[in-house]
């Protein structure tokens, strides 16, 4: 059985994952409109993954006798000045998510909820990978700069990037 504190903390994370999914969906749509097919496909995948992260939490809360909260979400940014800015925002967001997961892990230990602590380890590893992917992408974009040909190749190559699940 979840304590009220843990239930509330997990529900907060459910909302963050749902917002992540919307944020990345908005990025996918923007990239698609801008004609970068590869980036857009990558972002649609990221959006789906975030929804899976959310559902995993929903199931866990309900299985442990809690009530997963499906709440309203903040509206995401729908336009960006550049792809560089878009991926900077993505990295910034993932760093925020990692901090939130860390906080949750801390709370689970304080509450002596070892089942939740164990469950959260998957998210800890996931965040390491997602931050690394975002940093790799940003490094590439920084190398490309304003080169249109480079952006074209990047768009093609990003489809090859291992999509982290
Ligand atoms: Fe990429 O954030 Fe979920 O966990």
Ligand 1 pocket test, pick from 15, 53, 135 with the greatest ligand atom count within 8 Å of Cβ, gives 53
Whether the Cβ atoms of residue 161 and residue 135 lie closer than 8 Å to each other: no
Whether the per-residue pLDDT at 34 is higher than 90: the answer is yes
User: Would you say the ipTM is above 0.90?
Assistant: yes
Instruction: Give pLDDT tens digits for 60-113.
Output: 999 999 999 999 999 999 999 999 999 999 999 999 999 999 999 999 999 999
**pLDDT attached to residue 160:** 76
The ligand 1 site (C-beta within 6 Å) comprises: 17, 20, 50, 53, 94, 97, 123, 126-127, 130
**pLDDT attached to residue 164:** 45
**pLDDT attached to residue 121:** 98
Which residue's entry shows tokens 């459910």?
Answer: 14
What is the rounded CA–CA span in Å between residue 133 and residue 77?
21
Mean of the pLDDT values across residues 44-54?
Answer: 98
Give me the domains of the chain, ranges plus CATH numbers. 4-164 (1.20.1260.10)
**pLDDT attached to residue 148:** 87
What is the rounded CA–CA span in Å between residue 97 and residue 128?
11
Ligand 1 pocket test, pick from 130, 132, 133 with the greatest ligand atom count within 8 Å of Cβ, gives 130
Whether the Cβ atoms of residue 90 and residue 136 lie closer than 8 Å to each other: no
Q: Is the dihedral of CA 140, 141, 142, 144 positive or negative?
A: positive
Ligand 1 centre distance from Cα of residue 98 (Å)? 8
């Amino acid at each position: 059985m979840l304590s009220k504190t843990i239930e509330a903390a997990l529900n907060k994370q459910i909302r963050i994952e749902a917002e992540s999914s919307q944020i990345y969906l908005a990025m996918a749509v923007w990239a698609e409109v801008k004609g970068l097919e590869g980036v857009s496909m990558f972002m649609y995948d990221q959006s789906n993954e975030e929804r899976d992260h959310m559902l995993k939490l929903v199931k866990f809360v309900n299985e442990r006798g809690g009530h997963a909260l499906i709440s309203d979400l903040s509206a995401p940014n729908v336009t960006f000045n550049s792809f560089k800015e878009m991926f900077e925002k993505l990295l910034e967001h993932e760093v925020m998510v990692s901090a939130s997961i860390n906080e949750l892990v801390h709370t689970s230990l304080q509450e002596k909820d070892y089942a939740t602590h164990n469950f959260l380890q998957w998210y800890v590893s996931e965040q390491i990978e997602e931050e690394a992917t975002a940093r790799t992408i940003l490094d590439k974009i920084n190398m490309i700069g304003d080169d249109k040909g480079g952006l074209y190749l990047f768009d093609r190559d990003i489809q090859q990037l291992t999509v982290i699940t």
